[in-house]
Amino acid sequence: MTLAPSPPKDQLLPALFLDRDGVINVDHGYVSEIEKFELVPGIVDAIRRFNERNWRVIVATNQSGIARAFYTEKDMFTLHAHMESELADAGARIDAIYHCPFHEEGEIEEYRRDSELRKPRPGMLLQAMKDFPTEKRLSFMVGDKLSDVQAAESAGIHGFLYKEGDIDAFIEGAYHTMMALKRR
């Protein structure tokens, strides 16, 4: 399947922000191995649709498993490369991935700290908006935890809490909500 081309990095565009575990992949608890990586049914279609709309698709994910010594940052990068490859093979593209490896109760001293990057704080989203000019009034985040929604709201965008069901229909519903709000 053909990928929609990546938009120029300096172009002002809306962005779909996605949490990873529980939204892009099934959350089996600290997923770090390719063998345990399983895309949520429907997420490929949702991402592809936003690629075709010329929206950026950006992942913002807490990865405290690094600080907790469940896996390494290298393991996470390997998994992300696999995720991006699997999505690309299906014609879907992620434009950027932001992660927070820190946790204040981490086992690994290097990662044991509080961080503005860790959701519910907005650091990852704000950094993404700094790296990519973002049309905030249309942009939104989909996550499976309240902390995802709180991070979105703190960053000045809408957040939508996904729990279960058809992720493609859920994200499309969030998009139509944003379009309705735009007309006000």
Q: What is the pLDDT of residues 31-88, one digit of tens each?
A: 999 999 999 999 999 999 999 999 999 999 999 999 999 999 999 999 999 999 999 9
Known active-site residue 19:
yes
161: pLDDT strictly greater than 80:
yes
Assign residue 54 a region (left: φ > 0; alpha: ψ between -120 and 50; beta: otherwise): left
Q: List 99's β-bridge partners, or say none.
A: 61
Largest CA distance in the chain: 49
Position 141 in a domain: yes
Question: What's the CATH number where 59 sits?
Answer: 3.40.50.1000
Dihedral (Cα; 143, 150, 100, 52), 10-degree rounding: 40
Position 7 in a domain: no
162: pLDDT strictly greater than 70:
yes
Position 30 in a domain: yes
Position 76 in a domain: yes
User: Which of the residue ranges 3-7, 97-101, 122-126, 134-138 would you say has the lowest mean pLDDT?
Assistant: 3-7
| Domain of 168, in residue numbers | 15-182
Q: Which of 19, 95, 148, 168 is catalytic?
A: 19
Position 84 in a domain: yes
Position 25 in a domain: yes
Position 125 in a domain: yes
Band of pLDDT at residue 7, cut at 50, 70 and 90: confident
Cα 48 to Cα 27, 93, 115, 127: the distances in Å are 21, 7, 32, 24
Position 126 in a domain: yes
184: pLDDT strictly greater than 70:
no
* pTM higher than 0.75: yes
Question: CA angle 53-22-153, nearest 5°?
Answer: 65
Would you state the pLDDT for residue 183?
A: 75
> What is the number of domains present in the chain?
1
Would you state the pLDDT for residue 182?
A: 82
Q: Which of 21, 95, 148, 168 is catalytic?
A: 21
Known active-site residue 75:
no
